[in-house]
Structure 1
Amino acid sequence: MGLFLSTFVNKVDKKGRVSIPAPFRSTLAEGRTNAPIDVVIYPSLTHQALDACPLSYLEKLSDALDNDALPAEYRDLIDTTVFGRSVQLTLDPEGRINLPDHLLDYAGITENISFVGVRKIFQLWDPAAFDTHEKATRDKARANNISLSTILAKANSLAKGA
């Protein structure tokens, strides 16, 4: 599965339709030939935003939840908040989806949506809320001296110790 990268802002029309950015559509379509492109969208567990991913990603999550070593409360949490609140949407020929009102309301999205690539998933934010979140995240990274090189060094150290 490819990565979702970058940030795009698109307009939401009066019917709740929005165009998925072309690079995200390409990632969603990977490995599909002439089949409709679907995306699964659900309320984020950590932000007042929506998370979106290919169905294959949720299938992997489902398989991980079948692990008996995983606490039952984790399964219940994910089953209720992710699987139970997810909607599977098919992109129309123009690459648009029609977001249900309950998801738009959850994320506070009205006229515009920020599509934010987050590796294996992407998020949908109200643009002003995302700007605030991004600034707070950058400030926190600076305050804690976090950089790509420190993350890579720590990951390599953990891998050697494992």
Structure 2
Amino acid sequence: MAVFLSTYVNKVDRKGRVSIPAQFRQSLAKTSAPSTVYLWPSLNHQALEGADQDYLDVLSESLESPDLDADERDMIETFIFGKLIPVSSDAEGRIVLPKELAEFAGITEEAAFIGRRKTFQVWEPEALKAHEAVLREQVVRKDISLSQIVAKASRGAAGRSGEGA
């Protein structure tokens, strides 16, 4: 499964082509379908979500869980699998943004790719800046820190390992 890191802003040409960031391409090269990415409209933002085939396989398998609410399953199947578009890259690592997806995200001249570990998002750059400003305010207001997140995860892992004892 690919790992997508960092943020890149790339030009969109008049044919709707945009280069996948080199770091993303390097990560995709290690996957089962290195020249294909899957894009769909974000459930929560005026942006696109993207992933590789391996991630979609894991997501699909997760939908088989009996613990998953039927309404949640229906939403994911309809709004992710029902709306995603496979996009192949050319020899230069460019993809053509599907017109309906570009319009949804307001992407015209530039596209901002932001890595989110196992997935990525594609934004209109100014919309991404506004989104990041809102998130930064939330981080400050909630006093979120990396050390708190690591400590919380460590406590959770310790609790889970002690459950079977």
Give the TM-score category using the shorter length.
Answer: over 0.9
Q: 1:161 corresponds to which residue?
A: 159
- Corresponding pairs, count: 160
User: Separation in 1 of the partners of 2:155 and 2:62?
Assistant: 25
Q: 2:129 corresponds to which residue?
A: 131
Q: 1:21 corresponds to which residue?
A: 21
Deviations 1:3-53 (A, max 9, x none): 211100001111111000110011111145xx7611000111111110111
Q: 2:55 corresponds to which residue?
A: 57
Q: 2:117 corresponds to which residue?
A: 119
Query: What is the letter of the counterpart of residue 23 of structure 2?
Result: P
Q: Identity of counterpart residues, as a percentage? A: 50
In the TM superposition, residue 161 of structure 1 has moved relative to its aligned partner by: 2.8
Q: Which runs of 5+ in 2 are unaligned?
A: 161-165
Q: TM-score, normalised by structure 1?
A: 0.94
Q: 1:37 corresponds to which residue?
A: 35
The answer (yes or no) to whether the contact 1:51–1:123 under 8 Å persists in 2 is: yes
User: Separation in 2 of the partners of 1:36 and 1:138?
Assistant: 33
- CA RMSD across the alignment: 1.3
Q: TM-score, normalised by structure 2?
A: 0.92
* 2:87 aligned with 1:89: yes
Where 2:115 maps in the other structure, the secondary structure is strand
Q: 1:108 corresponds to which residue?
A: 106
**Structure 1 31/58 Cα, relative in aligned 2: closer, same or farther at 3 Å?**
closer
In the TM superposition, residue 159 of structure 1 has moved relative to its aligned partner by: 2.2
**Structure 1 31/78 Cα, relative in aligned 2: closer, same or farther at 3 Å?**
closer
* 2:107 aligned with 1:98: no
Where 1:109 maps in the other structure, the secondary structure is coil
